[in-house]
Structures are given as structure tokens and as C-alpha cells.
Chain A
Amino acid sequence: MQPIESFEVPAPSKVNYINAQYGLKSWLLTKDHKRIALLYLASITFFFFIGGIYALMIRLELLTPQGDFLQSTTYNKVFTQHGIIMVFFFLIPSIPATLGNFLIPMMIGAKDLAFPRINLLSWYVYLVGGLITIYALLAGGVDTGWTFYTPFSTTFSNSYVVATGLGIFINGFSSILTGLNFIVTIHTMRAPGMTWFRMPLFLWSHYATSLIMILGTPVIAITILLLAFERVAGVGIFDPELGGDPILFQHLFWFYSHPAVYIMVLPGMGVISELVANFSRKNIFGYSFVAFSSIAIAVFGFLVWGHHMFVTPQSVYAGMIFSFLSFAVAIPSAIKVFNWTATLYKSSISYDTPMLYALGFIGLFTIGGMTGLFLASLATDVHLSDTYFVVAHFHYIMVGGTLMAYMGGLHYWWPKITGRMYPEGWGRFSALVIFVGFNLTFLPQFIAGYLGMPRRYHAYPPEFQVFNVLSTAGASILGFGMLIPAIYFVWSMRYGRHAEPNPWHLPGLEWRTQSPPPTENFEVTPIVTWEAYEFAPPEETEVVGRFGPELERT
């Protein structure tokens, strides 16, 4: 038997990664992955707030059919900036850069990521990209839509396309560096005994995400670079008037931006796998299927970008293949949903806040995914293209999926990150408010879109008003729901109940060290002798108490 004493959770020591050093400099120059995760957490929250203000402005304008709050030019900028901020500066870094950064070394029993300095660099790169983008927004904004379609973006738009593009270009490198770091870490830094198939599924999904980050992001980088040069120097790679092909831009753009959807949702799926298994206290159903479905999504996700271009002069045969492959890529996602529900079957579920978010994710992601199939069919897509149906679909994936998973994960690991418990009652209440608010916002948009309401207009025919009023009401509830955790998270950092090392009584490595963890995560390099979700039978857990089965049994 392995020497178990190495897993004994030390009595709450005074020194942890938060109070090991003090002062602004110790944070800005830190190489500790846990501190960098917190730097990311603060900055993406800031960008989420900005993106949220734009969302609020959009919903306010759409309350009435006429353009009374915003006029068309301002409205174009507002929805563009909402998209750019939320996609590039919140959703893409959200789970990987915060939870992933914090947890990947802890879950594999390492002291840090493989390249701590590159990790810190990635945060600065993110910050520089973000500041340049904010400069562009303040200087006059950008109105091309987050997709930057040519030739509008190269020739006709008078807004700050180059500055915004530069911000996104630079930000892309932070994503590449993060992905690179994760891949190398998972390959080389696993503790003894931590085999690939003993890894928590969170790690598999982050590995798949990192693959997309390193393969896709360089393509969007060169695309934006070419676009910027075209605008500055007046040479035409994409501009038909100068001999270029605007459809080439769309191919290159979606070659990254479809897989980018999986950069956003795969880490979320990883969080949900953790939550579902751990809060139903049961080994995940079909571990290897869930693990490999992440890889399958990463691979097949690169072969479906043409479904964004069914209404362009793309060849019909290409369209048919893209349509078929888009249906095919739904299979690995469906495997995950089935396996999560199969895990829940006959398990002992506890409805703590993280689990409420997880259950919300499964429902909303299913709706988002199924409506995606309408858009992947050639004929129905012609009817639904550029309508609110599309807007509702991808918000179900990005908000209903990623944001739900992010919130669930944040609650779940909050005790580990801060050493404090969040207030459980408020947590459950706000999870429900967010769920209701979200559905009220986006369900009506499916109907409005199906009936023909186009996206990206500040005014619309009066018969669509009822859907928009519902949607704006829902958005207010959603916004209110998001404020509650923002308040109690900050509150709990000072006044929350002290967290035990393992408040949820789970076997994972991250729970076998103190909360918050020491700077080097573990006192001794752990040796792993158990499978990912190895729970003792419920009676035994009752008897042995808090620290998970292995610890007490031996």
C-alpha cells in the first residue's frame, strides 16, 4: 500500500498562496498559477461588466419598435462591442484562464503549470489587448459586427476597425500561450500514478480546448492582420474591387470562429462532468466516452465552419458536406448529455448551488444544441439565417452553457480558491433567478426569429414587440440575478464561513490539500492510487466522514 500519510490534510496552516506575500508587486509579478488565475478572474469580471452594459443598452433600445433610445449607427456599435467584448475578452478566457489555470496543476498533483512565466505573460498580453480594445471603444467604437465581414470592414466602415483588430490580435496570443501551457503541463507534469485515464474529465476537456486554441487562434490572428494591412495599405486580399475574394475572409474567419464556440463550451462541459459526478456521488457513466468525446469535438469542430456560409456563393456540394458534418459533430455533444443524465440515474443527488447550475446547463445546452441542428440543415437555415433564431441559439450555448458552467464551477471551487464558503441559500436563490431570467430573455427570441425578425437592426415591425418586451424583462431579471453572486462573493471573501480542506467530501486531488492551498499546492508530491470519481458507498462515507474514502479507510 502507498504511504498514506502524504495525503493527510494538514491542519489549517496560517500560510497559503494568498497571504504568503503581500503588496501589489507580489501580485503583479507573481508566477503562481493560482494568483494568476485570480488576476484573470478580476479582469474578465471587469470585461463581463462592460459587455453587460452593452447588452443592457441593446435590450433597452429593443423595448420599443422605433429607434428612440439609440439610432442606427450607435446601435451598430453597441451590438458589435457587446459581441467583441463578450466573446474575446470574457467567454474565451473565462473558464480556462481562471478555473483551468487554478485547477489544472492541482488536479494532476503538480506544483505549477509547466511555464509559470509564460502564464504570467499571457495575462499581460490579455491586458494589453484589452486596453487597446477599450481605447478603440472610447475613441469612437467599431460597427462591423463581431464578424468583421469584408468588404464592409476594409472599405466602407468609418469606425476604429484597425485598433479593435489589433486588440483582438494581441489578445489571441494570450489564448495561444494558455493553450500551449496546458498541453505541456498535462503531458509532462502529472504526479506519479496520475495516468491519463485517472484524470478528472475537467482535464480532458481542457486538453481538447487547448488543442483548438493552438490550432485555431493563429488563423484568426493572420486573418485580422491581413485585414488590417488591407485597410491601412489599400491592397486587396479580401476586397473584390482590388481583385480579392471577400468569401476567403469568411472562410478564414469561421475556420477559427466556429471552433472558438468549442473553446467556450468545452471547458464548461468539463466543469459539468465534475459537478454531475461529484454532486451525485457516483462515478461518471462511461468515463472514456466522455473523455474522447471532448477530443472528437475538438477534431470535428474544425470541419464544419461552412455552416455559417450557407447563404454565400459557397458551392452547394460544399454546403451539403458541411451540413452533414455539422450534424455529425452534434453526436459527441449528445454523448456527453446522455452520459451525464445516465450518471444522475439512481444516484444520491444533492441540490447544492453548483449542482443547480449543472442541471441548468444540461437543459439549456440541450435546447441550444438541438436548435443548432435547425441551422445546420441547408433549407431551414435559408429561412432562419440572420434572424433572432440564430441569436437565441448561440446565446443558449454561450450563456446557457458556458456562463452557467462558469458560475457553477466558481461556486464549487470557491471554498478552495478563497478558503471561505459562499452563502448557500443566496446561492440557490440566485441560480434560480438566473435560470428564469435567462429563459425569459432568449426563449421569445426563438419565436421572433422564426417569424422573421432580423438581427442587427435597431428598429423592427410592431408585431414583434411582445417578444421583445418579454426578452427585455427577462434580461432585467438575469442582470439582477447576476448581481446577487457578485455581491455575496465579495462579501464572503471577508465574512464567509471558513472552508474546510474538503467541504464537499470528494476524492479529487485538489481537495486533499488545505483551503486555500499553499503556494506549492501540496506539502509532498502526491502519489495517486485511485480512479477519478472513486466514491465509497454512501453508508461508508457517512461513517468515515469528511476527507473522502481513501484517506480514512487506510
Chain B
Amino acid sequence: MIESHATTQEVHGHRALQHHFENMEQQREAGTIGMWVFLVTEIMFFGGMFLAYALYRNMFPAAFASASNHLDITLGAVNTGVLILSSFTMAMAVYFTQVGKQRPQIIALVLTLILGLAFLGIKAVEYHEKYTDRLIPGHLIPGASFGPAVQEHDQPMDAHKLHLLPGATLKQVEMFYWIYFAMTGMHALHMIIGAGLLIFLIIWSMKGRFDPEYHGPVEVVGLYWHFVDIVWIFLFPLLYLLGRHFEH
């Protein structure tokens, strides 16, 4: 009883301690568990789309392979590298915050932000390619409904035309692109939110808010950032690689 009072008073002084927590340790633990629980909900959220993907891939394997072949594997692979690198810089940011080195911490956060924005930029280029090839499903974009040009066998190869494998129909390819845009779009939305959080962290760490005793926010955003990366680690092979025919 007496000891616990002493420790309480000892840390009560920290300016970041919220009134309803006993000490910084409890506050940090609550934040971390909270983020883990949130990530569980995110897994379930993406899980619904992964289920739809698994089902339709199984139903329309040829169409999914055709559509997959048409994705830009170079941009996808570069983006995968960019994200893995950003996870590394994020981990470094968490480390530097924990040991209380402010300058490297800010640099690591800014690097993470730049890499995240680079990912989004490359993704935008890819989306634009799909737009010019008229691969946006349904009539999502008014005046540019789904209708890609199909590669005929007797004509010269054109990278902008869709090469349909035997047994695939355009309707089924549209299904692939619907799932592709739903999943990567939802992922990009999470990246945008993550970039917003990083901006807050950068401002706060420039103001010197964090110290070895108070680094919960950086840790929690780090968890979130790694999660969003892992989602991409699953999306890349499922959408770009599975069923790809390298002989083309």
C-alpha cells in the first residue's frame, strides 16, 4: 500500500499522464493493447474481401490469371520494396524514440512519410494506367465504364490490350478488377490515414513531446504502419503473382 503510493506520486509528475491512469506504464499498456485490438478488427475487415477473392479466384481461374497478367508487375514489385523499406524506417523511429534521440527520430519519421507517399504516387500511376485501358469496373467513373480492348491472336501484341486466356470472359475479368480496386483502394486509404498520423508524429516530435518514458503514440502508429505493410505483403502475391504466366 505504502509502496504503491510512493510510485504513484513519483510518476504523477509526467505531463503526458492522463488523469484516469495510475501511472505511465498503465497508460502505455492501454494504448498498445488498444492498437492490437484495433488491428484485429482490421484483419476481419480485410478478411471479408480476402474471402470474396478466394471464392471468385476458385470460380474463375482463367479470368483471374488473364487479369493478373495485365497488372504492372514492375510497379507492384517496386512498391513492395518501398513499403518494406518504410517499415524499417518506422521501426527505427520507434527505437530512437524509446532511447530518446530526437534528431534521428525525426529523420526516421520523415523518411517513413516520404516512402509512404512514394508508394501512393506509384499506386496512382498504376491506377491511371488502368483508367486509360478502361479497366475501372462497372460505371464507377461516369463516361468510362469497363470495356478494355481485347488482344486478338492474329494481331501484333499490344501491352494495353487484355489478353484473354481460354475459358475467361470479360465479365469475369471485371470481377477481378472489382476485387483489385476494392482491396488496393482500401489499402491505399489506410496508407493515407497512416501518412496523416505520421505528420502529427513529426510535429509532436519536433516539439519534443516524446521521451523514453512517453513514447506510446510512436509505438502505436508503428504497429499500425507495420500492419498496413503486411496487408500489402499479402495483396501483392495474390493479385500480381498467382497464376501469372512468365512466358508472355
Contact = CB atoms under 8 A, between A and B. Distances in A.
Interface of A: 2-3, 110-116, 176, 179-181, 183-185, 187-189, 192, 214-219, 221-223, 226, 229, 232-237, 242-245, 248, 251-252, 520, 525, 527
A183 B48 contact: no
A458 B40 CA distance: 43
B138 A112 contact: no
Contact of A215 (B33, B40, B140): B40
Interface residues of B, number: 41
Given A235-B178, A242-B171, A243-B175, A214 B1 contact: no
Given A233-B139, A237-B178, A226 B45 contact: no
B37 A183 contact: yes
B26 interface: yes
Contacts, number: 113
A188 B26 contact: yes
A242 B49 CA distance: 17
A218 B137 contact: no
Interface string B221-248: 0000000000000000000000000000
Q: Which 8 A-B pairs have the closest CB atoms?
A: A235-B138, A218-B45, A222-B48, A233-B138, A112-B20, A111-B20, A218-B44, A233-B140
Nearest to A6: B1
Q: Is the interface of B mostly helix, strand, loop or mixed?
A: helix
B1 A235 contact: no
Interface of B: 1, 4, 18-20, 22, 26, 29-30, 33-34, 37-38, 40-42, 44-49, 51-52, 55-56, 59-60, 137-140, 145-146, 171-172, 174-175, 178-179, 182
Q: Indicate the member of A3, A222, A223, A232 with the most B CB atoms within 10 Å.
A: A222
A2 B178 CA distance: 64
A510 to B, nearest CB: 16
B99 to A, nearest CB: 25
A188 B41 contact: no
A47 B140 CA distance: 35
24 contacts: A110-B20, A113-B20, A115-B30, A181-B34, A184-B30, A184-B33, A185-B30, A189-B30, A217-B41, A223-B48, A226-B48, A226-B49, A226-B52, A235-B138, A235-B146, A235-B178, A237-B175, A237-B179, A243-B60, A243-B172, A243-B175, A251-B51, A520-B19, A525-B22
Given A214-B40, A218-B41, 8 more contacts: A115-B34, A188-B29, A218-B42, A235-B137, A235-B178, A251-B51, A252-B48, A520-B19
A87 B55 CA distance: 30
Given A219-B48, A233-B140, A235-B137, A180 B20 contact: no
B44 A216 contact: yes
Contacts of A113: 20
Contacts of B139: 233-234
A117 to B, nearest CB: 9
A229 B186 CA distance: 13
A188 B33 contact: yes
A217 B174 CA distance: 28
